[in-house]
Structure formats: C-alpha cells, structure tokens
Structure 1
C-alpha cells in the first residue's frame, strides 16, 4: 500500500510538471484573457495604439486582453522586470525603439538590449516639434533664433530620457547649432500636458500628439522623409534645411522564457490585428505609420537598429 501511495504521488507530480507545458502549447493558446503591460503612463502613443489593438484583440485571438500600466524611468522600470514574469504568453509588454537600445548604452538601467524579447513591431511615429497654439513661435526659424540668443532657455518636454524624443532633441541641437534643454517625462501624455501648461517652451514629441490635441498645439516641423498626409501644411525638417529624420518604433515583447511557438503565435495575433481594416483606419487617422515587423524578421531588424542607433548615440555623446 505504501509503495502504491508513493507511486501515485510520483505520477501526480509528473503530471503537474507536464501541465504547464501543455498550457503553453500554441495549439490552444490563448485559452484565457491576456495582460498587456504598457511601461508608460496612460495617454501616450503606446497606450493609444494598445487601446486600438484591445478593441480588435478578441476577434483575432479569441480572448480579451487587459491593459495595465507600469510607468517609470522612461520604460526601463518595467523592461527591467519583464523576464521575471512567467513565460506562458499570457503577459506581454509594450516595447519601444530606440529606448531599449539607447537606455542601456547610457548606463545601468536594470536590463540590456539583448535581455529583451520583442516579437512584433507594429507601428512607427515620427518626431515633431510642438508649441502651444498661443506661443510666440510661429515658425521653426523663430524658435531657432530665440535659442541662439538664449542658450539653454528653450526647454523641450519629451517622453523619457534616452528615447526617440531625446535623441531627436540632441540631433536638433547639433544640426541647428543651438543649445536647448530636454525635460524628460514618464510618457507622451505628461510631456504634452507640460507643453500645454507652459511648463516648457516647446515639446519634442511624436507627430500623433497633434491628432490628440487638435488646435491646442502648433507643429513647427516633422521628422519624416516627406510631408505626412494627415498634416500637409507642416514642413519636414529636411525641407527647412536640417537633416533630421527619426521617431519611435513600438511593438510587443514577451519574457525570455516564453516558448518559440507561443512567441510566433503572439506575433501572428498582432499581425492579424495590423491588417484589420478598422484598426488600420484608427491608426492612420491618428497619425500612426503602420509597420509589420514579425517575429521571424526580428533578429535582422534588431541587429540593424542596434547598429544604427549605437552609431547615432556615439555621435551625440551618449554612452561615452
């Protein structure tokens, strides 16, 4: 009897050990609601695009997704804890470039770029310079002239330190021959609020901020290759004589312990949403530029971005 009891207990433990692997099989994933962590405050581009995804998630995944916020240190606080989460696929996290390349170059932020496991980058947003609608600055040149006469007095609110906004501000200073001051906030929402509240003279934010704030903000220039259809009257930096093109890629990442088939399944879900006509319309109407960098393309894409942003960081003194 004792032997039977031991045998039964052993079999039970063996079954328990197998159960997590079965639960993580891509064939029946997901079979319960998922959690989507945004590493910034509510109201920014990461949040807005995730909310658009959330509206389509159940149709394409078969389950709902719940959004949570873990803002702090320009995203680093959440990214440094990503690999502590169970890798069963049921918790995913928003991830941004160049943040996750530039932050570790600057110093110890609790994670390295290669510690993270992005599975899909689904959109891109160019940088832009904004001022309040009643600002004294009507053109980019007027802002530049003021900055040259008042070194350091032009303050730019932006989303996070060592972010696309921060890199854009540094490129602007170097290219325009001025000295400005970057003021990092925990996300786009708070940084735009700072501009609207005249806590800073201007904002180096993402172009989508114009869609969210309407006539309350004036966009002086956008860091895209060509004028954006949603903002035909706003000149590019290149048009104005400044070789500045840049912005942020946003996607989703999973803990490093997540099995390969689950990583691909999550990428497939995001790709299906990215092709959904309702989602496409919401994103394009909001000023987002859709991308579709799937999990199978991730190694080459991340390698390319590491090279590109690392060189840019060196030229601007980041991590020196």
Structure 2
C-alpha cells in the first residue's frame, strides 16, 4: 500500500514538475544518440548541430552511438529511455517506415515520436570522372539499348538509394540493376573502383570525393549551392525528388511542452548561419518539418513508401 501511495503521489506531482522543467529546459547536457556508426551522414549532420546547440539552447549536447540493425536496435529501445528531454535520438526515413513493413524489428512506425525533421540528403547518380557517360542522357541511352547492364551501387537494400533506382527505371523507361552495399562508403568505393557502372548515392558524396566522381543529376527540387553545375532530375524531365530524411525523436513519454521545446531548438539551429553554411557546403538540403507538422508529414511519407514497398519486394507485415 505504501508503494501505491508513493506512486500516486509521484503521478500527482508530475504535471507540475514537467511544466517547470520545460520552462528551464535544457539546464544540463542533452544526450544525442545516433543509431548508426560514426562517420556517416547522420553523424556528420549531428556534429554540425552539436556545434550550434549550446549557442541556441544554452546547454551542450553529447553525441553517443548505438549502431545495429540499420538503426532498428536503437529505435526499438527509444521508448524505454527517460522521457525528460535529456535523451534525444536521430531518426531516419525511409528506414523507420520500411523496416517495420518488412519484418519484426521491435517497433512500429507509429511507436516512434519524431519532433523535427531538419534535412534530407538527395539521391544522386554518380559515375567515375573517366566514365564514358558524360551526361544523364548518355547513361539513359546506354541503359535503353542494354537492359539490366547498367549497374548501380547503393547504400543498402530498401534504402532511399534503392527507391531512387526503382523510380528512375520507371520514369526513364529503362531496366537497370541495383547492387546494395553496407553503407555509403562501400557503395561509393564500388563506383570509384569500377565494380559498377554508376552509383545511386547521396549528393553529399560529391563533397567527399570531389574530382574523382562526376554527378550526373540530383534528386532535389532545386540545384544545390554546393554543386551549381549539376542539373536536377526535374530539369531533365524526370520527376524524381527525394533522399534520406533525418530528424530528431524523443521517447513517447516526453511531455508535450518538452517535445515542442526540442523542436524549437532544432528549428533555431537550422536558422543559424554557421550551421546552414556547413550543411549547404556538404550537399545537405535543409527542411523545417516541426512538431506541429509531424503527423501529416509521417502520414504522407508512410503512404508514399508503402506504395513503393511492393516494388522493392517487401510484403507488408501489418
């Protein structure tokens, strides 16, 4: 009975505590968990955020890593973590939509609580600089005459790169072959080593490998400031826009006002000129999908990626 009374008292006091903590949040370092290994796009963009976090929020953030199962190891544990705003986690689309559709991964899309999606890395087609394909038209002409002979490397199966390749084939009326690798690094290495004819990689690879790669087209709505000479797919009459969206999530038990505060902090970081410059120079495209817009955004993306799941060979499990 004593335990029950104590628990009841704690619940009664909780609303007052969460309101006060939201007013002063954050008053200590925030743990920022990245569900992948160090060195990838999720880590890089979080590092850029980290540089602006204390300036915007008044407290620092500490980046930690919890890699495994393409992010699922961390996302499946998120709701068991403290919901006090001092644990936040990177979150990715299409991963968190396609993973639960494909198999049991310890969470469902609706279990997760993203509070802000702050950027995406557009998909792009790369070839080595010595490739005979000088333009996207060159590659499409070859693919049209040689079905399945054009090989694309990409970061994993059922990834944004994989989706982009499927959509490209549909829009261009060609058949190409997608070869998944364990991450962006190995996928780009395959292009550089001519193990494949081309790569459907993220535009950020253009910043990392510069004169060794030629970017033929990018799946952004507008040309990227870092690559002003690279046309968008839309400019080339292919309606292909998209990439890997990255954001910040919190445990579901986090109070609403703290969720909103985290979203506000991420928005303020997005507006920081230093952060914007780093992201644009790296080939990232900033977005500002705030907590109040999240339900509509996730619903739209779930509909979009569920429709493409069957083309990827995914049979919905729910």
TM bracket (short chain) = 0.7 to 0.9
Instruction: Kindly tell me the number of residue pairs found equivalent between the two proteins.
Output: 313
2:173 equivalent in structure 1: 177
TM-score scaled by length of structure 2? 0.85
| Alpha-carbon displacement from aligned partner over 1:221-254 (angstroms, at most 9, x marks no partner) | 1122343343232222233343322222211011
CA distance in 2, matches of 1:41, 1:183: 22
The gaps in structure 2 that reach 5 residues or longer are none
Correspondent of 1:91 among 66, 87, 90: 87
Structure 2 counterpart of 1:137, from 114, 133, 138? 133
Partner SS for 1:127: strand
Match of 1:272 among 226, 248, 268: 268
- Mark the CA change 1:318 to 1:201 in structure 2 (over 3 Å): closer, same or farther: same
Listed as ranges, the gaps of 5+ residues in structure 1 are 1-5
Which one of 217, 232, 237 corresponds to residue 236 of structure 1?
A: 232
Which has the larger Rg? 1
Q: Which moved more, 1:20-29 or 1:261-270?
A: 20-29
Query: What is the CA-CA distance between 1:23 and the residue it aligns to?
Result: 7.2
Find the counterpart in structure 1 of residue 17 from structure 2: 22
**Matched residue, 1:284:** 280
Aligned-residue Cα RMSD (Å) equals 3.1
Contact kept in structure 1, 2:225 and 2:280, CA below 8 Å: no
Q: In the alignment, which residue of structure 2 is the partner of 1:105?
A: 101
- Larger deviation: 229-238 or 47-56? 229-238
Farther off after superposition, 93-102 or 68-77 = 68-77
Deviations 1:49-82 (A, max 9, x none): 1111000111112221122233333323322222
Q: Is the 8 A contact 1:40 1:186 kept in 2?
A: no
- Contact kept? 1:76, 1:109, Cα under 8 Å: yes
The one-character-per-residue Cα deviations of 1:65-111 (angstroms, maximum 9, x if unpaired) are: 12223333332332222223222222211112222222222333332
Q: Pick from 6, 14, 34 the counterpart of residue 38 of structure 1.
A: 34
Matched residue, 1:3? none
Whole-angstrom CA distance in 1 between matches of 2:7 and 2:240: 62
For normalisation by structure 1, the TM-score amounts to 0.85
Change (3 A) 1:58 1:136: same
Secondary structure in structure 2 of the residue aligned to 1:109? coil
- 8 Å Cα contact 1:41-1:186 kept in structure 2: no
